[in-house]
Amino acid sequence: MLKTISVHQVRLGMFIHSLQGSWMDHPFWKKAFKLEDANDLNKLQSSGVKEVIIDISKGLDVATEKPVEITESIPDLQQSKPVSLQQIKRVSAGEERIQARRIIENSKEAVVSMFNDVRMGKAIDAEAASPLVEEISASLDRNEGALISLVRLKASDDYTYMHSVAVCALMISLARELGLSEAEVRLAGMGGLLHDIGKAMIPIEVLNKPGALTEAEFNLVKLHPEQGHALLLQGNVTDAMALDICLHHHEKMDGTGYPFGLHGSQISLFAKMGAVCDVYDAVTSNRPYKPGWEPGISLQRMAQWTSHFDDKVFQAFVKCVGIYPVGSIVLLKTGRLALVIDQSPKSLLTPIVRVFFSTKSKLRVPIEVLDLSKRGANDQIIGHEDPAKWGIHDINGLWNQNDLWG
């Protein structure tokens, strides 16, 4: 039986069925768990949560005789309308990055917990991650590039966990670009979040190895799609899309992928989407053994791998992240370098940029924001540029400058 009680009535030994209020306002990523840690109880009672729903068939009942409301059916996670049904107002990338940082931190905690559960032999609770997918989706609604550009700036030690978050966001964005239904968009996001869960079975020292893997180590890593698929089945994940993405996201159009060497027509649309999103985040991220590529240059190089990706899926991916993705470094006609900070709704070729360096003087210049879609911009993009060519290695620092958004 389910009961709604005040947070002050909660005690150790209760089974928390759900927490009333927004997922972003409470300190736990799971919506259902047995409360067994005093620190967790303190966190719950000092949070903004006012009420919780307990399941007395799985844990303790309230200790008092005060009447409580009996809940006949399972309520929504949020008292307000679900994120997907709320009217979403578009904001600038700078504004959304404030919220996106919080979402990313919560997402990391959720994925780390999920991986740790697997390593301890516990079953995956994929349903508990649904609010996370909703929040990522809502962030993309408010601004497509903010969260994706931030999650790319992951530390190399966090790559395995944050990669799952990044691929979730990229899958949602790509699914929308392909015109999939909103239900399919959410399932694509969940598939992206779970696609690498099999890596929980691989030793950390192999995942984070700073040098090249040995053949034996690489063969071990190549087992993760099948291991992940088995873990999802054990966790009663029945959605065919999530299972397919997990098992087949390393297949290639020419049949040279793994684990089954499938050819183009044998690979589903969702697995083809997973392949593009997985590779893009991998090559743009700093890894223990190599620095990440600049986003725009990554797209150029990926476009040349004609045997790897489905053409239509890849072209849709370019449209959803932009020809000049947020986070790209571009060379302007005036010889200045600029960081792409937002997309313009007018054209993929004329994003909003922040100028910071002169290739003529080889010096930093006063930061200037340019909306290249406006007539008075008086500049234009010549092409992508590798910042390392000019001795610039602190792009992450540029993002983190307090005055970056001005």
Residue 62 covered by a domain: yes
Average pLDDT over residues 236-246: 93
H, E, C per residue of the chain = CEEEEEHHHCCCCCEEEEECCCHHHCCCCCCCEECCCHHHHHHHHCCCCCEEEEECCCCCCCCCCCCCEEECCCCCCCCCCCHHHCCCCCCCHHHHHHHHHHHHHHHHHHHHHHHHHHHCCCCCCHHHHHHHHHHHHHHHHHCCCHHHHHHCCCCHHHHHHHHHHHHHHHHHHHHHHCCCCHHHHHHHHHHHHHCCHHHHHCCHHHHCCCCCCCHHHHHHHCCHHHHHHHHHHHCCCCCHHHHHHHHHCCCCCECCCCCCCCEHHHCCHHHHHHHHHHHHHHHHCCECCECCCCHHHHHHHHHCCCCCCCHHHHHHHHHHHCCCCCCCEEEECCCEEEEEEECCCCCCCCCEEEEEEECCCCEEEEEEEEECCCHHHCCCEEEECCHHHHCCCCHHHHHHCCCCCC
Average pLDDT over residues 36-62: 79
Average pLDDT over residues 79-106: 71
Largest CA distance in the chain: 78
266: domain range? 87-321
Predicted pLDDT of residue 31: 61
Q: What is the dihedral of CA 396, 397, 400, 405, to 10 degrees?
A: -100
Query: Rounded to whole angstroms, how far apart are CA atoms 329 and 383?
Result: 9
Tell me: cis bond preceding 259? Omega within 30 of 0 counts. yes
Shared domain check, 207 and 135: yes
> 145 pLDDT band (50/70/90 cuts)?
confident
Query: Rounded to whole angstroms, how far apart are CA atoms 242 and 188?
Result: 7
- Tokens, residue 403: 């005055």
| Edge-to-edge order in the sheet of strand 33-34 | 33-34, 15-19, 51-55, 2-6, 69-71
Contacts of 379 (CB under 8 A, 6+ apart): 332, 333, 334, 336, 370, 372
Predicted pLDDT of residue 396: 62
What average pLDDT does the structure give for the chain? 84
| pLDDT at residue 28 is higher than 70 | no
Shared domain check, 214 and 188: yes
- Residue, of 40 and 256, whose pLDDT is higher: 256
Give the amino acid at 225: P
Residue 181 covered by a domain: yes
| pLDDT at residue 60 is higher than 50 | yes
Query: Rounded to whole angstroms, how far apart are CA atoms 135 and 107?
Result: 9
| pLDDT at residue 88 is higher than 80 | no
Residue whose entry in the numeric block shows the structure tokens 């999650």 = 151
Shared domain check, 229 and 178: yes
Query: Rounded to whole angstroms, how far apart are CA atoms 384 and 380?
Result: 12
Shared domain check, 387 and 298: no
> 179 pLDDT band (50/70/90 cuts)?
very high
Predicted pLDDT of residue 73: 34
Can you name the residues that pair with 330 across neighbouring β-strands?
338, 384
Shared domain check, 279 and 164: yes
Q: What is the CB neighbour count within 10 angstroms for residue 127?
A: 14
Predicted pLDDT of residue 29: 53
Shared domain check, 293 and 317: yes
User: Are the beta carbons of 84 and 181 closer than 8 angstroms?
Assistant: no
User: Domain boundary residue among 321, 337, 366?
Assistant: 321
The number of distinct structural domains making up the chain is 3
Predicted pLDDT of residue 270: 96
Residue whose entry in the numeric block shows the structure tokens 């940029």 = 353
Compute and round to an integer the Cα radius of gyration of the chain: 23
Average pLDDT over residues 288-308: 88
- Residue, of 8 and 23, whose pLDDT is higher: 8
| pLDDT at residue 81 is higher than 60 | no
- For residue 39, with 0-12 CB atoms within 10 Å meaning exposed, 13-18 middle and 19 or more buried, which class applies? exposed
Predicted pLDDT of residue 251: 98
Please provide residue 265's backbone torsions phi and psi, each rounded to the nearest 5 degrees.
-70, -15
CA 252, 254, 257, 260 dihedral sign is positive
Give the amino acid at 263: H
Contacts of 89 (CB under 8 A, 6+ apart): 142
Give the amino acid at 74: I
Residue 234 covered by a domain: yes
> 307 pLDDT band (50/70/90 cuts)?
very high
Query: Rounded to whole angstroms, how far apart are CA atoms 354 and 398?
Result: 10
- Tokens, residue 406: 């001005």
> 402 pLDDT band (50/70/90 cuts)?
very low
| pLDDT at residue 22 is higher than 90 | no
Residue 304 covered by a domain: yes
> 64 pLDDT band (50/70/90 cuts)?
very low
What percentage of residues in the chain have a pLDDT greater than 70? 87
Shared domain check, 96 and 216: yes
Please tell me the pTM assigned to this model. Answer: 0.75
Q: Residue 160: give its domain's CATH number.
A: 1.10.3210.10
Q: Which of 87-101, 190-204, 296-310 has the lowest mean pLDDT?
A: 87-101
What percentage of residues in the chain have a pLDDT greater than 90? 48
Shared domain check, 205 and 106: yes
Shared domain check, 243 and 126: yes
| pLDDT at residue 368 is higher than 70 | yes
Shared domain check, 128 and 182: yes
Average pLDDT over residues 22-48: 68
- Residue, of 172 and 74, whose pLDDT is higher: 172
Residue 406 covered by a domain: no
Query: Rounded to whole angstroms, how far apart are CA atoms 143 and 145?
Result: 6
Predicted pLDDT of residue 21: 62
Residue 153 covered by a domain: yes
> 343 pLDDT band (50/70/90 cuts)?
confident
Predicted pLDDT of residue 63: 65
User: Domain boundary residue among 275, 301, 321?
Assistant: 321
Residue 405 covered by a domain: no
- Residue, of 292 and 362, whose pLDDT is higher: 362
User: Domain boundary residue among 32, 64, 80?
Assistant: 80
Give residue 253's Cα distance to chain centre.
Answer: 25
| pLDDT at residue 82 is higher than 90 | no
Average pLDDT over residues 199-213: 90
Query: Rounded to whole angstroms, how far apart are CA atoms 378 and 304?
Result: 32
Shared domain check, 394 and 246: no
Predicted pLDDT of residue 77: 29
Shared domain check, 162 and 244: yes
Residue 30 covered by a domain: yes
Average pLDDT over residues 326-338: 93
